[in-house]
Homo-oligomer: A and B are copies of this chain.
């Protein structure tokens, strides 16, 4: 079992704050500012342009990609860091469609994070070949996997409810009809055990500012299964995905493997912060983190349900069906969450009525969970529930 007291001590958590919003933005690793200072002063400041080679900046997107790869079950050398999640979705989807030229359906679900759907819309319009983005309810996905489908594009853990899709099972279904599977791991990487290789995902994408604690706007990543790595023509064919970027050739030649998913100049400073964040994951196994998250989540659910009858669990009750978050429905959830935040318990609200709490064992323990229960109870029972308008005074100022 990892020493979660030790991992907690490696984060800066503000005085008086219980932070259950790591599924939106992870907290600051204590070492991150130092590491950033060193990269700025000793590398950028002293090495200047030579830092690209001397300090290893150019190789960093692949090095960090592999460190994330370990946490999602990827084969070494098949994860690349860069850009934003939206861009990586676009790359994965464009590649998948090019591998299934005869098919016209992108299958997704209404639980997918909107940017995935928006990027698909934009791609479809661009292609102009009559592709269709078919969005069904999450529970209808399995039956909707037909031979029309080129790509199944799903977010494994629902950002609102925390409901997990069965990735290996749905991927197998997709493959059985000749479709490809793209998995968005935004709420999975660093939260639940993922096995992209064993589960035979074709593509996977994710971000690093949530459970991985890379910092606000930290770069995204993309995984391309080895069997597709040489077969995909990148849609966003930037110079750093070229086989020989510094030859400055006039014509694009894709780099080997996942390196072709690089686009422009890598975000060196953002990577410095992420590197410090990933250090905390060294020696930590995802299965153990997830087991602990389940324990903490059960404690939270039981505590809240015992005292707050007006809150309805929006997450699956079965722990194995959940990611590393717990969500409740409440009609005035926005105001309720504002009141919780005013009392130092930070979760977040997702329209129309979801109060969302991220459960992150690297820096949350039983004491934090109990404090959160206490504050949510105080807000719901003493402040909001007694008020006919359900509006907390502090929320309307």
Q: Which residues of A contact B (CB under 8 A)?
A: 12, 14, 17, 19, 21, 24-25, 27-28, 32-33, 36-37, 40-41, 44-46, 48-52, 57, 83-87, 90, 94, 110, 113-115, 117-119, 121-122, 125-129, 135, 207, 209, 215-220, 233-240, 242, 245-252, 263-271, 273, 341, 346, 348, 350-351
Contacts and interface: CB of A to CB of B under 8 A. Distances in A.
A240 B216 CA distance: 14
22 contacts: A19-B48, A25-B44, A25-B52, A27-B48, A28-B44, A33-B45, A36-B36, A50-B346, A83-B87, A83-B264, A90-B236, A113-B248, A118-B251, A119-B237, A125-B235, A128-B129, A216-B269, A217-B270, A246-B351, A247-B351, A267-B267, A269-B270
Q: How many copies of this chain?
A: 2
Given A238-B119, A239-B115, A44 B216 contact: yes
Nearest to A122: B237
Given A33-B40, A117-B250, A126 B238 contact: no
A247 to B, nearest CB: 6
A389 B234 CA distance: 42
Contact of A238 (B86, B242, B245, B351): B86
A33 B28 contact: no
Contacts of A249: 114
Contact of A217 (B25, B236, B265): B265
Contact of A121 (B48, B85, B129, B237): B237
A50 to B, nearest CB: 7
Given A83-B87, A115-B240, 11 more contacts: A14-B48, A36-B40, A50-B341, A50-B346, A86-B264, A118-B238, A122-B252, A126-B235, A216-B268, A217-B266, A269-B273
